[in-house]
Amino acid sequence: MLGSASPARLSTLRAAGLDPEVIVSGVAEDGIAADSPAALAATLAELKAGAVAARLLADPHPAAGVTIVIGCDSVLELDGVAYGRPASAEAARAGWRRMRGATGVLHTGHRVIVLPDGAPGSGTGIPEVRAVTGTGSTVVRFARPTDEEIDAYVATGEPLRVAGGFTLDGLGGAFVDRVEGDPHNVVGISLPLLRTLLAGLGIKWIDLWQ
């Protein structure tokens, strides 16, 4: 189960051989605080995965077999400040004026929860539930788009749908000079980190291939 509405995360997992069912968590990101941008990404991932797991645990007719819930959330750290999705076109434009020529860090929190076969649902969790959290961080070096390019990019609407107001795998990729670290993490889900987290819970990555 993927607790995210992000089409980029879903397509990344599908390209890697997984085919998760999507259950949108419904967690509101506004008003959540943490000690650092990286911690914020992890906290949001935990909340999203937890909301989906609680919904599944509350189901009086749970699905047969072990269920894996994956929750992710990304934030861009720039000068120590965390930026999620821009709230408006003007915010996206202002963000890009800050970002151009700068270096930031894209943090993606990952929360994996494993629900046992036929787990009874109380909505509060049970002892057999296993979970782990990890955060991937990738350095992003931005190009210097002109004001005209920024306005045109914001007008596409893409920046309003993604953390930090940019993509690596979409129209915004032309405005990123390079990344240092896992590029999948910038897209929204780190495949190497996810594989490691699953292995820690006794789940083999290759067993999840469809």
Tell me: pLDDT of 127 over 60.
no
Residue type (1 letter), 57: L
Dig out the tokens for 103 from the structure.
Answer: 């270096």
* pTM of the predicted model over 0.85: yes
| Domains along the chain with CATH numbers | 7-208 (3.90.950.10)
CB atoms < 10 A from the CB of 4, how many?
Answer: 26
Grade residue 124 by pLDDT with cuts at 50, 70 and 90: very low
Which residue matches tokens 């970002």? 99
DSSP label at residue 120: P
From the list 73, 79, 177, 182, the catalytic residue is 73
pLDDT confidence band for 18 (50 / 70 / 90):
very high
**73 is an active site residue:** yes
What pLDDT digit, counting tens, does each position of 39-98 carry? 999 999 999 999 999 999 888 877 778 899 999 999 999 999 999 999 999 999 999 999
Q: For the chain, give me the number of helices (H) and strands (E)?
A: 6, 5
